[in-house]
């Protein structure tokens, strides 16, 4: 339960971090909040030659609004800072409501948004939120920056579209339309554990109550978070009643192809995907949420 030996560098600039990463390639790992990576080291599941600690790189943390009402969050921003941000609460209520589900306060005091996204745990909250919100993930390399859409970012368990030598530096959340409602739910045996299954949803509701764009993302039920597109399509354009929400939930359950493991069977996870989808749709469409 002690980490293996490694070389350690704490670069004081992004350029220095990129140069170190370029020089070492596969032998180097980036350290952000360390709340998943350090356990992996302690278990000796990871044995990097060099750890490049991003905690002393200036300019990677912070929350601000862009000119279009969207949200720019630096990759090294701690989950706790996002949780306590008034700006986030106002400009992305789904992100705001999901953060308290991540582990516990001492973990959120260290864990970062960029670290969680780059780690790409299939049961983690932030990848699902990024996907539901069409977030753009900004990857910086020696040759410059490129934007990666959340839908193209998560390739598999702990696998992302980041290339060797790239650092995830910023996450952009598009503006939140005033008619957008949201829901979030997950189930775990103890609060703060990784979700057995979770669901995040946004629903844009027109003045006459008709559903416009609907997003339903199921996580913990496959290699990556996934949109339940058939369920979304079934809701779009409708004035959903209880029966319609149940049908959408059934479509979401059918859509997932969950694993069986020591936490839960595939069948149990599929059932949860349906139940949680119905609950988050009810949350999103509840009259109280509508008034908010």
Partner 1 sequence: MSARHRIVLTVNGQRVERDVEARMTLADFLRESLDLTGTHLGCEHGACGACTVQLDGNSVRSCLIFAVQADGARVTTVEGLAVKGTLSVLQRSFQQHHALQCGFCTPGMLTTAQAMLAENPDPSAEEVRRAISGNLCRCTGYLPVVAAILDAAAQLRSEAA
Q: Exposed, middle or buried by CB within 10 Å (0-12, 13-18, 19+), for 190?
A: exposed
Figure out which of the listed residues 34, 174, 212, 259 binds partner 1, where binding follows CB under 8 A. 34
Cα 189 from chain centroid?
Answer: 20
Cβ atoms of residues 237 and 211 within 8 Å: yes
Q: What is the 3-state secondary structure (H, E, C) of 22-88?
A: HHHHHHEEEECCCCCHHHHHHCCCCCCCEEEEHHHCCCCCCEEECCCCCEEEECCCEHHHHHCCHHH
The answer to whether residue 265 forms part of the interface with partner 1 (CB under 8 A) is no
The answer to whether residue 262 forms part of the interface with partner 1 (CB under 8 A) is no
The answer to whether residue 35 forms part of the interface with partner 1 (CB under 8 A) is yes
What element of type H or E holds 274?
helix 266-285
The answer to whether residue 80 forms part of the interface with partner 1 (CB under 8 A) is yes
The answer to whether residue 43 forms part of the interface with partner 1 (CB under 8 A) is yes
**In the complex, what is the shortest distance from the CB of residue 62 to partner 1, in angstroms, rounded to a whole number?**
17
Figure out which of the listed residues 109, 246, 254, 275 binds partner 1, where binding follows CB under 8 A. 109
Tokens 């988050």 found at: 280
Using DSSP bridges, classify how beta strands 154-156 and 159-160 pair: parallel, antiparallel or unpaired: antiparallel
What element of type H or E holds 227?
strand 226-227
Q: Round to whole Å and give the CA distance between 199 and 83.
A: 19
Which range touches partner 1 (CB under 8 A), out of 50-58, 162-170, 248-256, 262-270?
50-58
**In the complex, what is the shortest distance from the CB of residue 42 to partner 1, in angstroms, rounded to a whole number?**
5
Does residue 139 sit in helix, strand or coil? Answer: strand
The answer to whether residue 11 forms part of the interface with partner 1 (CB under 8 A) is no
**In the complex, what is the shortest distance from the CB of residue 127 to partner 1, in angstroms, rounded to a whole number?**
19
The sign of the dihedral angle between the CA atoms of 102, 106, 107, 112 is positive
CA dihedral in degrees (57, 58, 63, 69; nearest 10)? -110
Figure out which of the listed residues 55, 238, 246, 254 binds partner 1, where binding follows CB under 8 A. 55
**In the complex, what is the shortest distance from the CB of residue 194 to partner 1, in angstroms, rounded to a whole number?**
11
State the binding string over 213-252 for partner 1 (x if CB under 8 A, else -). ----------------------------------------
Cβ atoms of residues 277 and 252 within 8 Å: yes
The answer to whether residue 190 forms part of the interface with partner 1 (CB under 8 A) is yes
The answer to whether residue 98 forms part of the interface with partner 1 (CB under 8 A) is no
Q: Judged by CB under 8 A, how many residues of this single chain contact partner 1?
A: 31
Which range touches partner 1 (CB under 8 A), out of 3-11, 16-24, 69-77, 250-258?
3-11
Which range touches partner 1 (CB under 8 A), out of 41-49, 171-179, 224-232, 273-281?
41-49
Choose between 31 and 281: whose C-beta lies nearer to partner 1.
31
Choose between 53 and 213: whose C-beta lies nearer to partner 1.
53
Q: Where on the chain is the footprint of partner 1 (CB under 8 A)? A: 1-8, 10, 34-35, 38-39, 41-43, 51, 53, 55, 80, 100, 103-107, 109-110, 190-192
């Amino acid at each position: 339960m002690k980490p293996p030996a490694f070389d350690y560098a704490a670069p004081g600039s992004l350029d220095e971090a990129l140069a170190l990463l370029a020089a070492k390639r596969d032998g180097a790992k980036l350290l952000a909040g360390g709340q998943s990576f350090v356990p992996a080291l302690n278990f000796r599941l990871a044995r990097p030659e060099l750890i490049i600690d991003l905690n002393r790189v200036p300019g990677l943390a912070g929350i601000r609004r862009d000119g279009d009402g969207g949200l720019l969050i630096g990759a090294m921003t701690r989950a706790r800072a996002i949780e306590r941000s008034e700006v986030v609460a106002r400009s992305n209520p789904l992100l705001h409501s999901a953060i308290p589900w991540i582990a516990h306060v001492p973990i959120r005091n260290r864990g970062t948004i960029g670290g969680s996204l780059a780690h790409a745990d299939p049961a983690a909250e932030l990848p699902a939120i990024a996907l539901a919100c069409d977030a753009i993930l900004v990857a910086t390399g020696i040759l410059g920056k490129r934007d990666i859409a959340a839908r193209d970012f998560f390739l598999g368990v702990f696998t992302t579209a980041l290339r060797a030598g790239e650092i995830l530096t910023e996450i952009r959340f598009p503006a939140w339309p005033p008619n957008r409602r949201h829901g979030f739910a997950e189930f775990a045996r103890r609060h703060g554990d990784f979700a057995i299954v979770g669901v995040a949803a946004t629903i844009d509701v027109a003045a006459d109550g008709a559903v416009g764009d609907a997003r339903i993302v199921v996580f913990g039920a496959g290699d990556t978070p996934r949109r339940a597109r058939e369920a979304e399509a079934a809701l779009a354009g409708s004035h959903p009643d209880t029966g319609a929400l149940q049908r959408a939930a059934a479509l979401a359950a059918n859509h997932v192809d969950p694993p069986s493991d020591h936490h839960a069977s595939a069948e149990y996870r599929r059932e949860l995907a349906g139940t949680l989808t119905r609950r988050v749709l009810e949350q999103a469409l509840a009259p109280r949420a509508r008034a908010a």
